[in-house]
Amino acid sequence: MTKRDALLFLFVGVLILGTGVVQSWNSALFILNYGLISAVMALGVNMQWGYAGLFNVGVMGFTALGGLGAVLVAMPPVRAAWSAGGLGVLGALALGLAVIVGAIWLWRTMPRGRLRGVGLLVWLVAGFFLYRALFDPAVRAIEAVDPAATGYLGGLGLPVLLGWPVGAALAAGAAWIIGKTALGLRSDYLAIATLGIAEIVIAILKNEDWLSRGVKNVIGVPRPVPYEVDLQQNADFLALAGRLGLDPVTASTIAVKLAYAGLFAAILLMLLWLAQNALHSPWGRMMRAIRDNETAAEAMGKDVTRRHLQVFILGSAICGLAGAMMVTYDSQLTPSSYQPLRYTFLIWVMVIVGGSGNNFGAVLGGFLIWFLWVQVEPMGMALMQVITSGMADGSALKAHLMDSVAHMRLLTMGVVLLLVLRFNPRGLIPER
Amino acid sequence: MELLNALVTLANFVLIPATAYGAQLALGALGVTLIYGILRFSNFAHGDTMAFGTMVTVLGTWWLQARGIGLGPLPTALLALPLGIALTALLLLGTDRLVYRFYREQRVKPVILVIVSMGVMFILNGLVRFIIGPDDQRFADGERFIISAREFKAMTGLDEGLAIRTTQGLTIVTAVIVVGLLFWFLSHTRTGKSMRAFSDNEDLALLSGINPERVVAITWIIVAALATIAGVLYGLDKSFKPFTYFQLLLPIFAAAIVGGLGNPLGAIAGGFIVAYSEVTITYAWKKVLGYLAPEGLAPDGLVQLLSTDYKFAVSFVILVIVLLFRPTGLFRGKAV
């Protein structure tokens, strides 16, 4: 890190502290915590794009899978639902997997020819109907169990921190499937395939009520840190708050956010340390060599497609981890809140503005762009008020402009990305 | 009789809607494939270009409707369509001048152009939502049906009706005309030939004195026309919502890749393959099978293979299968 980089980080720190002084410490900590999560996501995307030049447009999908991981581990199991259809669903899923594995085996072992095609088709169709015959009644049974409160299988009831690696593993699994299909072909194909898987993951979360309660949302995901109400009952905490001159409610919300900040910062620092070591190891140099000249790297005996698959899975797993962290922080999973703009595009803006190929750049971009994302809306609102101040109250145009402020974010972020790509493509902290 | 009823139901709920949808996808995929052939990148902004063109047309339609100008039985949107195409062409030429040309001159890797097109996509997306808002807009007017289900039943005496909506008929007729014009242009005019030459071998084309900037500009104009027409037809047939157009990107890309990126004929075939698979897989076959199955064996369930919420999964699976087994597409496009 050079002096300039340190100054940039200091600048972001001042921005966040300034929010605390001018607005409130609660919003400053909110920006800080989400900034930490965003920085983790940006690190993941930076591995794919910055180290290896892979274009992943499905960050949203991997993030959502990570969130699902946290829910599946941490939520208490719904015993009634398990006894109603748990085994049925698991059996159906196992059968589905077996059908796919069997199809691959058939494809590999049978001799080429019409028989193979027909056999495969019959196998898949029969497998599909068998799967649905097992799956549908089990799902109906599960979703009938107290649909207003549960109607899903629930999780394993384990500590939520265990859900973070599980979320990362889920994302890694999806990345493996995509990578196996689209890597080794044109670079655009990976982009299109990841775009597709992200939409499908969100569709599954929204529609498979037995798994994620769909649009009814999973709320009350257990926390790794104390609850505000408990803190407000705690005599020691109340004494501490009194000594600092804070009222207990504010003090408890700030304390909880600080605890999260510590947890997230520890994860981020650990990942940053690992990423830095990886980038400056022979492995990192090989990755960059592949990115800069695939043909030369292949001539040196490097298996380009395999290395790409490896780094793609790694990066996606980190996005999944960030997704699990986010669901834990929000303590809810709301499938309808996953928007490609917020979870894919914004992360890309972070990486490119921060400096692709540089881990510190990605982290800086994560904080800076997140800060702007939060603060641009009130600024845009103020700006629009100035612009429309000359217009008569109640005019249709004024009302329309005020309503449209929310869409300014899309425009601003798109313009920021294009400007940076054009005039400063190496970003704030360039690769060294 | 039973067989006829089954056929009519099938046509009503699967064949006709899928053909209209396929024509819309084919027009969209043609735009993507042309840009790929000439400019050599996958344009992620295509869905939002369609949304922009449709938005202009919708605004024009409302203006005409407010003045009481219409086309009688046909939708007024057809009158506003030239305006939509013109403004979209200006927009695309403007983005080319401001954004893409710089990278073209630098001869950057295609993936950079893809990222840039993603930036353009979000700007267009924001622009459209800013002007017309994120909600559903209906702008179809004129006669609703060519043949309504009731008329059909009275005409044939069958139990099942066959309805052909004006917008469906219009979509198919327009698509045939547009595709015919495009292929005539590509194979019979000097400019069209120079575009094909440029797509096949850029260096040779440059050597024989083809002006690349002119080819690129004409490509953008054609793409603007294709995207606007596809978007307006889709909007007339269903409804206009900016986010849906963004989501159309996946089936459109699937169609273009199935046919072979850079191959116009392939894009059309791909559009229909994706549309037919999507509709047949998400259609509930209960009624058709009810007519076909022998007495007492009619199915109890809906016999729907996938719920309509997963229609994008169908495009995705088609995409995956093509990428796994034949990455150049059915018609041997240029990409590997």
Please name the residues between 53 and 112 in chain B that touch chain A, using a CB distance below 8 Å.
Answer: 99, 102, 109-112
Q: Which residues of A touch B102 (CB under 8 A)?
A: 422
Measured between CA atoms, the residue of chain A closest to residue B316 is A196
Task: Determine the residue among A410, A416, A420 to mutate to test chain B binding: the one whose Cβ has the most chain B Cβ atoms within 10 Å.
Answer: A410
State the sign of the Cα–Cα–Cα–Cα dihedral A175, A177, A180, A181.
negative
Please name the residues between 265 and 304 in chain B that touch chain A, using a CB distance below 8 Å.
Answer: 301
How far from A192 is each of A9, A297, B250, CA to CA, in Å? 34, 25, 7
Would you give the DSSP letter of residue B41? Answer: S
Residue pLDDT, tens place only, B142-152: 778 888 888 88
The residue type at B268: I
Nearest-CA distance from A410 to chain B in Å? 5
Measured between CA atoms, the residue of chain A closest to residue B258 is A189
Task: Assign a CATH topology to domain B2-325.
Answer: ABC transporter involved in vitamin B12 uptake, BtuC (1.10.3470)
Residue of B115, B119, B319 lying closest to A55 (CB–CB)? B115
Q: Number of C-alpha atoms within 13 angstroms, CB side, residue B259?
A: 29
Q: At A247, list the tokens.
A: 């009222």
Residue of B111, B123, B312 lying closest to A196 (CB–CB)? B312
The residue type at A162: L
- Any chain B CB within 8 A of the CB of A116? no
The residue type at A172: A
Residues whose CB falls within 8 Å of the CB of residue A223, separated by 6 or more in sequence, listed in order: A160, A328, A331
More confident site: B88 or A385: B88
Work out the mean pLDDT of chain B and round it to a whole number.
88
Domain positions in chain B:
2-325
One-letter-per-residue 3-state SS of A254-266? HHHHHHHHHHHHH
The residue type at B118: M
Written as tens digits, the pLDDT of chain A (432 aa) is 788 889 999 999 999 999 888 888 888 999 999 999 999 999 999 999 988 889 999 999 999 999 999 999 988 888 888 888 888 889 999 999 999 999 989 888 888 888 888 988 899 989 998 998 888 888 888 888 888 888 888 888 888 899 999 999 999 999 999 898 888 777 788 888 898 889 889 989 988 888 888 888 888 888 888 888 888 888 888 888 888 888 888 888 888 999 999 999 999 999 999 999 998 999 999 998 888 888 898 888 888 899 999 999 999 999 999 999 999 999 889 988 898 888 888 999 999 999 888 999 999 999 999 998 888 777 777 877 787 777 766 677 777 777 777 777 778 888 888 999 889 888 899 888
Q: What is the pLDDT of residue B217?
A: 93
Measured between CA atoms, the residue of chain B closest to residue A49 is B111
Q: What is the pLDDT of residue B336?
A: 44
Helix (H) or strand (E) holding B147: strand B145-147
User: Contact B134/A407, CB-based, under 8 Å?
Assistant: yes
- Any chain A CB within 8 A of the CB of B252? no
Residue of A193, A341, A417 lying closest to B119 (CB–CB)? A417
Q: Which residues of B touch A136 (CB under 8 A)?
A: 301
Q: Which residues of A touch B336 (CB under 8 A)?
A: 185-186
The residue type at A51: Y
User: Contact B250/A196, CB-based, under 8 Å?
Assistant: yes
How far from A38 is each of A262, A343, A357, B133, CA to CA, in Å? 15, 9, 17, 28
User: What residues pair up with A77 in beta bridges, in sequence order?
Assistant: A154
One-letter-per-residue 3-state SS of chain A? CCHHHHHHHHHHHHHHHHHHHHCCHHHHHHHHHHHHHHHHHHHHHHHHHHHCCCCCCCHHHHHHHHHHHHHHHHCCECHHHHHHHHHHHHHHHHHHHHHHHHHHHHHHHCCCCHHHHHHHHHHHHHHHHHHHHHHHHHHHHHHCCCCCCCCCCECCCCCHHHHHHHHHHHHHHHHHHHHHHHCCCCHHHHHHHHHHHHHHHHHHHHHCHHHHCHHHCEECCCCCCCCHHHHHHCHHHHHHHHHHCCCHHHHHHHHHHHHHHHHHHHHHHHHHHHHHHHHCCHHHHHHHHHHHCHHHHHHCCCCHHHHHHHHHHHHHHHHHHHHHHHHHHHCEECHHHCCHHHHHHHHHHHHHHHCCCCHHHHHHHHHHHHHHHHHHHHHHHHHHHHHHCCCCCCCHHHHHHHHHHHHHHHHHHHHHHHHHHHHCCCCCCCCC
